[in-house]
Structure 1
Amino acid sequence: MTEFNDFGYVEKAFANIREVVAKQGKNIHRAASLMADAIAADKLIHVYAGGGHTTLAMGEMFFRAGGLANINPLMETALSVFNQALKYLELERTVNFGSSIIKYYDIQKDDLVIIFHNIGINPATIDAAAEIKKRGGRIIAVASSYWQSEMPPDHFIRHPNGKNLFDYADVAIDDYNPVGDAVVNVPGLDTPIAPVSNVVDFTIAHLLEIETVRLCVERGITPPVWSSANAPGGDEKNAAYLKKYKPLIKSL
């Protein structure tokens, strides 16, 4: 029996996170300032994901113990990993599908939307971003500069307009996800394994929340934060937020 070996996965994931912390702090602060502004104005913070496993980052921010209660996921199951895989893959590459989701949720002028898509070039992402900007919304984009810069301009997964998610962002947060996502090479296997994008994007989501809460407290604002529904007293603490946000957030 051979000894356990992670082939450097944990260190590579932490190295990616450390790079985000070292280089993206100012952008995380700028994004959190917009989120704190939304809380101060008693508005929702909308979260969208452009398809596949990036939808899990949207889910990580929604109805989460210790998370913000005013998060509104622009949820479309057809784009998520809870759809059949080949179906969501086809739909995230379908032009105008993303814009239809933004229209359905009726994003308004000055609404704040966080968009997760580490690749940041596919039609479901670009069309959603374009529709948000068309409506006067503001965008915090979490994506990888590597994917956006290294993918060929004529690659078939790109939106026909050739734009990147960061082209639409009011604040762009680079997650430094490498092209291909998987970071471990096991000797004897040609295909890399062990992706890091969700580990890093989940961390960015929580860093945004932490900085937003800090800024709210600094401004004398009590941010709306969920308690764990599974801990004693959690349901009682959450009751007021549910009463307030259930009529406003379709996924509650």
Structure 2
Amino acid sequence: MSNVAVPSDSNAQEALTEFGNEISALVNRVIEGNRETVTKAADRIRHTLDNGGVVYTAGAGHSLAAVMETFFRAGGLAPVRPLWHADVLPFNGAALSTQAERTPGLGRSVIDASTVEARDTVVLFSTSGINPYPLEIALGARERGATVIAVTSVGASQLAPQRAGQRLFEIADVVLDTLVPSGDASWPVGGTSVTAPVSSITNTVLWDCVLVALYEADPSLPVWRSANIATAGSSNDDLMAHYAERIPEMLAADPARRAAVTAATKSQ
């Protein structure tokens, strides 16, 4: 027989209520604390769009979940291109991804191989903001004259060990503070939190806040429609035709596959 105590259903329900309240409070603090910086981020991105530029998004490990949220997303901004390296994706090796984002030179190789220009904006998601991978991308983007927006936890970053001489929030043009606690976990409340990470929630909230600010400034914002509604096809096809040259990931990474996808799309 197991000696592990099983919590009662009432305890679990109370915990869920408390957790929901804590998450709601965190989201509200994030929105209130970033009102000015969200506006600044939206202004920089608006400048990029007005000049025919692209918004690049990057991250490592689970921050790639935020990058995925920005790319080809129903309701999402169309001219977004992900910057990433296969080694920082946990599905390609969990331990490898941690080692890779700490390896000097990898981020530099990603930005050097990119097509980032001065008119573009690079958004970097990194809760700790201390590893070489995101910092090298940020520094390389700034060298090209691009705007750098950091989505990071300033408090957690200040508590984390320095691994690259600087922290992401120190070198970005605009900083969106996720307010994520050190270690990311949020439960239990009031003690040593061990589970329920929150960075994916706050990353998404902040990106959506930027989208709201962009839309309010210009309702003609180029956004994707859900592929699962009847009226999406022509609108999305037009966006792909307009942006695919600068964002080839919209079709396929491999030229042969890209041609096949294009042919299939035209035949529908």
Fold conserved (TM > 0.5)? Answer: yes
| Rg comparison, structure with higher value | 2
Residues 79 and 152 of structure 1: CA distance in aligned 2, closer, same or farther (over 3 Å)? closer
For 1:231, give the aligned amino acid.
Answer: I
Residues 141 and 190 of structure 1: CA distance in aligned 2, closer, same or farther (over 3 Å)? closer
The answer to whether the aligner puts 1:22 opposite 2:32 as a matched pair is: yes
Moved more, 77-86 or 189-198: 189-198
For 1:79, give the aligned amino acid.
Answer: V
Moved more, 23-32 or 142-151: 142-151
8 Å Cα contact 1:7/1:185 also seen in 2: no
Moved more, 204-213 or 242-251: 242-251
Q: Which has the higher helix share?
A: 2
1:69 aligned residue: 78
| C-alpha distance in structure 1 between counterparts of 2:75 and 2:240, whole Å | 15
Secondary structure, counterpart of 1:8 in structure 2: helix
8 Å Cα contact 1:213/1:223 also seen in 2: yes
Percentage of matched positions with identical amino acids: 28
The answer to whether the aligner puts 1:177 opposite 2:180 as a matched pair is: yes
Q: Which runs of 5+ in 2 are unaligned?
A: 1-7, 251-268
| C-alpha distance in structure 1 between counterparts of 2:96 and 2:200, whole Å | 21
Shift of 1:139: 0.4
For 1:238, give the aligned amino acid.
Answer: N
Secondary structure, counterpart of 2:58 in structure 1: strand
Correspondence list, 1:1-150, <5 A: 2-3=9-10, 4=13, 5-6=15-16, 8-49=18-59, 51-150=60-159
Give the TM-score, by structure 2 length.
Answer: 0.84
Secondary structure, counterpart of 2:122 in structure 1: strand
| C-alpha distance in structure 2 between counterparts of 1:26 and 1:230, whole Å | 35
1:244 aligned residue: 242
2:4 aligned residue: none
1:213 aligned residue: 215
Count, aligned residues: 240
| C-alpha distance in structure 1 between counterparts of 2:139 and 2:47, whole Å | 23
Secondary structure, counterpart of 1:42 in structure 2: coil
| C-alpha distance in structure 2 between counterparts of 1:64 and 1:170, whole Å | 25
Secondary structure, counterpart of 2:186 in structure 1: strand
8 Å Cα contact 2:102/2:133 also seen in 1: yes
Structure of higher RCO (CA pairs closer than 8 Å, 6+ residues apart)? 1
| C-alpha distance in structure 1 between counterparts of 2:48 and 2:135, whole Å | 24
8 Å Cα contact 1:182/1:192 also seen in 2: yes
Shift of 1:37: 1.3
For 1:22, give the aligned amino acid.
Answer: E
1:198 aligned residue: 200
Cα deviations by residue, 1:213-242 (Å, 9 ceiling, x for unpaired): 21124xxxx211111111112122211111
Shift of 1:185: 2.3
Secondary structure, counterpart of 2:33 in structure 1: helix
| C-alpha distance in structure 1 between counterparts of 2:116 and 2:42, whole Å | 19
CA-based RMSD of the aligned residues comes to: 1.9
- Which of the residues 225, 231, 241 maps onto 1:227? 225
For 1:84, give the aligned amino acid.
Answer: G
Cα deviations by residue, 1:20-62 (Å, 9 ceiling, x for unpaired): 111110000000011111122221111111x111111011011
Moved more, 242-251 or 60-69: 242-251
| C-alpha distance in structure 2 between counterparts of 1:40 and 1:107, whole Å | 16
| C-alpha distance in structure 1 between counterparts of 2:43 and 2:30, whole Å | 18
For 1:244, give the aligned amino acid.
Answer: H
For 1:134, give the aligned amino acid.
Answer: E
